[in-house]
């Protein structure tokens, strides 16, 4: 009996052990299966058998086994990899993990914390298992999903998911691509079933920088140009401070200490040669000291228009605000919230910020007409006979001067962008839809010829530079018409009026036939049709030219009665308010939209024209005081470089980050202030490198040419006598 009881007890114990073993295995299987479905990095490691016989396959298997045994280094590595995040429905497609933590897992240096805390930490972790037995690397995988559950705003790359993977460095991008394709095909990840979506791999990036990009394409040439520019700036500054300024100080002392004019002249000539050689003149053009003094000089002559500086700067601030939202959109983890964000009335100032560019078109046309007509008014020696050769020469001289004025900083920016974006294409975890380093390598000549706005958005180098091309094209047309007006005034007026009316009608017509409704997704869809074409943007430029003509003819003396001034203020304000807030409700009829598109830009320019005109009356008030403040003058001079650089800076900051951005009011406000400060600091550097030096060089050449021409005329007169 006791033997039977003992046998029964043994059988029960055996059954219990078997049950526990099976339960443990079942539990472990469930845990493993859950890890595979929830954690992409673990899912990759679980497919190590696909790379049998490779170092990558062996290390992936070791990584998986270490995770199963809860070894510290494996958990840290797994924790550094990304996975599905909350907010997917509103566009959070960034499963980034932590790149810095991944690379720091191999760092054996202790944290700088108190010794007692270090000793305390050893109670919970084994320092011997804290570091991986092989080198790890951070990879970025980009793949697309087709889930219809995620809200779509029909903006680019809203279906693109970015996954960060901290895995053995021995794995190549081909190894990981092969495994990920298998995982996506088998729908291993839980999110595929949860959100009813398929995943398709775009690419896997190894973010380790091998510096080979430094020797590719035009990068070496760009580096040489930058080094040469810095060398010229350093040499010019040293020459200016230690030679030329010393000479000026000596000259000033001589002027103060010597009463006789003859003696003063002798002292000046003996102290320093009055005529610098060509190399010295070139060096002075690149002097940081002299160019900074020019930048911060706030003295304006009577012919200048102070209000222009205030309008320029405030418009640039507005553009940077809009660009911050626009160019950060690719990095938002709540892209769909942008549609909610754009609904409020105050936010219309940002949503309709495209009219800030029309302010620049107006100012450009105004300055062209004002300067040209003012010069013709003061040129009393011009003849009445028609000299077509002289007119043609004048046109080409104006075009060349404009080209030299704009092109050096423009090309310098393209070079820096090429350098910077080539590096980010190699090292940034974010997907770069606009590969400006590739499009600029192919199509930079379009920018050089100022015709890049005539091509599609996808093949445009520095897509924000469409404005420069349009401005140059308008300058050519405006200059030709102004020269023509000196002989055939009414013909030039007729052409100008025809261009304005045609642009208005064509804008409305194109909007109507494309059935355009001004929602944000439609604005992006029709960029190539309604935003970039110069024939739709010339209206504000023409209004600017007309305003310049009015001020010249009135000699800037505008006399208005109080009632008329009040009426004009109301009319001008109504123009700007209509354009800014006229699209508060964007779901309007196609016909209403066409009327708005046809008139908005020209009406906006009319409102700005009134502001410029009223500043020459006694009714300018606080607006005049604000816009003519001298603090705007240096900031206004940097607007060209700030425009060139601010989108590039916004992209660069985001591409360098290891986290996505989140759209909310306070964080965006702080971001805007940072972008503004950095943009203007970098604009100052670009101004010193490529804008001011070439303006001074051009002036030096013109002065030299004028002196030679004058000397030849003197010789000819002497021969005649």
What SS3 state is found at 113?
A: coil
pLDDT in the model for residue 113: 73
Label residue 719 by pLDDT band (50, 70, 90): very low
What is the reported pLDDT for 557? 76
Helix orientation angle between 388-427 and 219-239, rounded to the nearest 10 degrees: 110
User: What integer is the mean pLDDT of 679-704?
Assistant: 92
**pLDDT, tens digit (0-9, with 9 covering 90-100), for 442-485:** 999 999 999 999 998 889 999 999 999 999 999 999 999 999 99
* Residue 631's pLDDT band (cuts 50, 70, 90): very high
Question: What confidence score (pLDDT) does residue 679 get?
Answer: 96
Structure tokens at 320: 């940077």
Residue 178: is it exposed, middle or buried by C-beta count within 10 angstroms (0-12/13-18/19+)? middle
* Helix, strand and coil in the chain, % to nearest 5: 70, 5, 25
Q: How long, in residues, is the chain?
A: 721
pLDDT at 24: 42
pLDDT of residue 588: 87
**Beta-carbon count within 10 A of 456 CB:** 10
**Chain segment 480-526, per-residue pLDDT in tens:** 999 999 999 999 999 999 999 999 999 999 999 999 998 888 888 89
Q: What percent of the chain has pLDDT over 90?
A: 58
Q: Which two tokens stand for residue 369?
A: 């007409």
Q: Please name every residue paired with 140 in a beta bridge, in sequence order, or none if there are none.
A: 164, 205
For residue 164, pLDDT beyond 90:
yes
User: What is the average per-residue pLDDT within 23-39?
Assistant: 53
Q: HEC states along 694-708?
A: HHHHHHHHHHHHHHH
**Candidate ranges 247-256, 534-543, 560-569, 655-664; pick with highest mean pLDDT:** 534-543
Confidence at 673, pLDDT banded by 50, 70, 90 = very high
% of the chain beyond a pLDDT of 70: 86
| Short-list 206, 194, 81, 99, CA closest to 145 | 194
Given this model, what pLDDT does residue 262 score? 45
pLDDT, tens digit, 9 for 90 and up, residues 259-268: 443 433 343 3
Q: Residues 352, 361: contact at Cβ < 8 Å?
A: no
pLDDT for 683 beyond 70: yes
pLDDT band at 377 (very low <50, low <70, confident <90, very high): confident
* pLDDT at residue 18 greater than cutoff 70: no
Give the 3-state secondary structure of residue 165: strand
pLDDT attached to residue 258: 47
* b/e map 283-316, b = 16+ CB within 10 Å: bbbbbbbbbbeebeeeeeeeeebbbbbbbbbbbb
* CA terminus-to-terminus distance, the chain: 152
Give the pLDDT confidence score for residue 708 in this predicted structure: 58
pLDDT of residue 261: 36
Mean pLDDT of 529-543: 95
- In this structure, the number of other CB atoms found within 10 A of the CB of residue 49 comes to 9
The HSE-up count of residue 540 (CA atoms within 13 Å, CB side) is 26
Question: 191 with 43: CB under 8 angstroms?
Answer: no
- Angle (CA) 366-453-581 rounded to 5° is 60
- Rounded to whole angstroms, the Cα distance separating 479 from 398 reads 8
Chain-wide mean pLDDT for the chain? 85
The whole-number pLDDT of residue 22 equals: 41
> What is d(CA 506, CA 11) in angstroms, rounded to the nearest whole number?
93
Residue 714 has pLDDT above 80, yes or no: no
Radius of gyration of the chain (CA): 34
Segment 47-65 shows an average pLDDT of: 92
Question: Hey, which residues does 709 pair with through a beta bridge?
Answer: none
**537 in Cβ contact with 601 (< 8 Å):** yes
Please name the residue ranges forming H helices in 305-457.
Answer: 306-328, 337-341, 348-351, 355-378, 388-427, 436-448
If we measure between CA atoms, which residue out of 412, 477, 478 comes closest to residue 448?
412
What pTM was estimated for this model as a whole?
0.88
């Amino acid at each position: 009996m006791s033997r039977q009881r003992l046998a029964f007890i043994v059988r029960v114990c055996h059954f219990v052990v078997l049950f526990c073993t099976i339960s443990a295995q079942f539990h472990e299987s469930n845990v493993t299966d859950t890890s595979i479905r929830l954690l992409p990095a673990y899912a990759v490691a679980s497919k190590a058998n696909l790379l049998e016989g490779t170092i990558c396959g062996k290390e992936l298997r070791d990584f998986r086994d270490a995770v199963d045994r809860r070894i510290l280094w494996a958990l840290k590595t797994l924790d550094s990899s990304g996975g599905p995040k909350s907010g997917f429905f509103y566009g959070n497609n960034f499963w980034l993990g932590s790149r810095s933590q991944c690379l720091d897992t191999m760092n054996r240096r202790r944290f700088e914390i108190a010794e007692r805390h270090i000793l305390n930490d050893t109670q919970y972790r084994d320092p011997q298992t804290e570091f991986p037995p092989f080198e790890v690397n951070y990879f970025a995988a980009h793949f697309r999903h087709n889930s219809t559950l995620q809200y779509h705003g029909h903006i680019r790359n809203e279906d693109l998911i970015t996954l960060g993977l901290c895995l053995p460095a021995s794995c190549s991008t081909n190894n990981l691509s092969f495994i990920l394709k298998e995982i996506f095909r088998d729908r291993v990840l839980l999110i595929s079933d949860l959100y009813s979506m398929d995943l398709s791999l775009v690419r896997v990036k190894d973010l380790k920088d091998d510096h080979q990009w430094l020797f590719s394409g035009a990068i070496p040439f760009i580096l040489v140009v930058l080094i040469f520019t810095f060398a010229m700036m350093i040499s010019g500054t040293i020459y200016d401070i230690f030679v030329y300024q010393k000479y000026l100080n000596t000259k000033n002392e001589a002027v103060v200490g010597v009463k006789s004019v003859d003696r003063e002249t002798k002292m000046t000539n003996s102290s320093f040669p009055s005529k610098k050689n060509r190399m010295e003149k070139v060096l002075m053009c690149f002097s940081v000291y002299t160019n900074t003094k020019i930048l911060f000089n706030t003295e304006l002559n009577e012919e200048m228009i102070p209000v222009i500086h205030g309008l320029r700067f405030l418009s640039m601030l507005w553009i940077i605000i809009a660009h911050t939202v626009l160019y950060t959109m690719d990095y938002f983890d709540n892209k769909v919230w942008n549609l909610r964000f754009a609904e409020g009335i105050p936010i219309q100032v940002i949503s309709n910020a495209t009219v800030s560019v029309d302010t620049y078109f107006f100012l450009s046309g105004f300055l062209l007409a004002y300067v040209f007509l003012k010069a013709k008014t003061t040129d009393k020696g011009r003849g009445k006979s028609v000299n077509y050769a002289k007119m043609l020469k004048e046109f080409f001289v104006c075009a060349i001067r404009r080209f030299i004025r704009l092109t050096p900083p423009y090309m310098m920016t393209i070079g820096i962008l090429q350098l910077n974006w080539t590096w980010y294409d190699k090292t940034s975890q974010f997907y770069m839809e606009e590969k400006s380093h590739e499009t600029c390598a192919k199509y930079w000549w379009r920018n050089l010829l100022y015709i890049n706005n005539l091509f599609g958005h996808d093949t445009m180098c520095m897509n924000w530079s469409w404005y420069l091309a349009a401005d140059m094209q308008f300058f050519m047309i405006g200059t030709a018409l102004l020269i023509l007006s000196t002989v055939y005034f009414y013909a030039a007026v007729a052409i100008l009026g025809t261009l304005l009316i045609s642009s208005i009608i064509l804008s409305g017509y194109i909007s109507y036939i494309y059935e355009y409704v001004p929602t944000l997704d439609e604005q992006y869809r029709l960029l190539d049709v309604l935003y970039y074409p110069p024939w739709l943007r010339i209206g504000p430029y023409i209004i600017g030219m007309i305003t310049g003509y009015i001020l010249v003819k009135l000699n800037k003396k505008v006399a208005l009665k109080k009632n008329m001034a009040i009426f004009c203020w109301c009319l001008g304000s109504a123009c700007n308010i209509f354009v800014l807030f006229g699209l508060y409700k964007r779901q309007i009829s196609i016909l209403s939209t066409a009327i708005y598109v046809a008139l908005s830009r020209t009406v906006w320019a009319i409102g700005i024209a009134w502001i410029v005109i009223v500043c020459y009356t006694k009714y300018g008030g606080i607006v005049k005081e604000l816009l003519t403040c001298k603090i705007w003058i240096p900031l206004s001079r940097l607007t060209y470089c700030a425009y060139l650089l601010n989108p590039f800076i916004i992209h660069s900051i985001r591409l360098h980050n290891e986290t996505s951005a989140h759209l909310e009011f306070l964080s965006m406000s702080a971001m805007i202030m940072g972008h503004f400060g950095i943009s203007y600091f970098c604009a100052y550097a670009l101004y010193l490198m490529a804008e001011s030096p070439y303006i001074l060089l051009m002036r030096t050449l013109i002065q030299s040419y004028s002196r030679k021409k004058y000397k030849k005329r003197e010789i000819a007169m002497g021969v005649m006598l």
